[in-house]
Amino acid sequence: MSATLFRPPATALLEIHSLGAALVVLDRIEKAASVSLLQAELNDAYGLFLKLIGDPYSVRIAVDCAREVTGEMKVALTAEVLDSPDAGAWSVINSAPEYQPSLEQSVVFIPQTQNPSMTDKPKSPEALGLLETQGFAAVTAATDAACKAANVRVIAKEKLGGGYITVIFEGDVAAVTAAVEAGRSAAEGVGKLISAYVIPRPSEGVSQILTRL
């Protein structure tokens, strides 16, 4: 019996120069196209590298959506579609888990699916707030102001390299919106604010790749 040859699926490659913006892009894509997040990879100043798979038509919709969203946000994007990736290149596309000691965290995020046998699935947050700065003082001040302004809970802190840090919190839409505005003002008063976003009803892929505290 001959061995079945592995045929990688069509893949969208999206390198977005802001972690916060990349999560917004991923959320919008998953709500617009029938694609799945293969993984996300941190790449220092080049931001977050998203790898999405699906049929060729769907991955092209994903790239078009990414271009539209990053254009609205005025964030740099490098995008490419591989309609039929070579099996020999798949080990580069589908990266192995990697821990970066200098960042003290993993830099390859592989979506974590919920065990179907578990009955106590965590409830998806109504909204996520993202505050991204260059420098710890600014992000710490922003987080403090956000938590004082509204009933939100900090769930993740991601380091991008180059001094870029993103703090992510959850709560209802009104609370998260108020927290982001307070955090934005605090960050701008202390240092350099990179991005501040609210994601209502975040998509599954966004929730699966967060490194929760």
Torsion of CA 201, 63, 155, 212, to 10 degrees: 120
Total-model pTM? 0.85
Q: At 156, phi and psi to the nearest 5? A: -160, 150
Q: For 96-109, how does the pLDDT look when each residue is reduced to its tens digit (9 = 90+)? A: 888 878 767 778 88
Output DSSP code: residue 81. Answer: E
Residue among 61, 73, 67, 82 at smallest CA distance from 13: 82
What is the pLDDT at residue 97? 85
Domain ranges of the chain: 10-109, 127-209
CATH number for the domain formed by residue range(s) 127-209: 3.30.70.1710
What is the pLDDT at residue 98? 82
Q: For 16-71, how does the pLDDT look when each residue is reduced to its tens digit (9 = 90+)? A: 998 889 999 999 999 999 999 999 998 877 789 999 999 999 999 999 999 999 99
Residue among 72, 55, 60 at smallest CA distance from 10: 55
Q: What is the assigned CATH class of domain 10-109?
A: alpha beta
Q: Do domains 10-109 and 127-209 have the same CATH topology?
A: yes
What is the pLDDT at residue 111? 84
What is the pLDDT at residue 75? 92
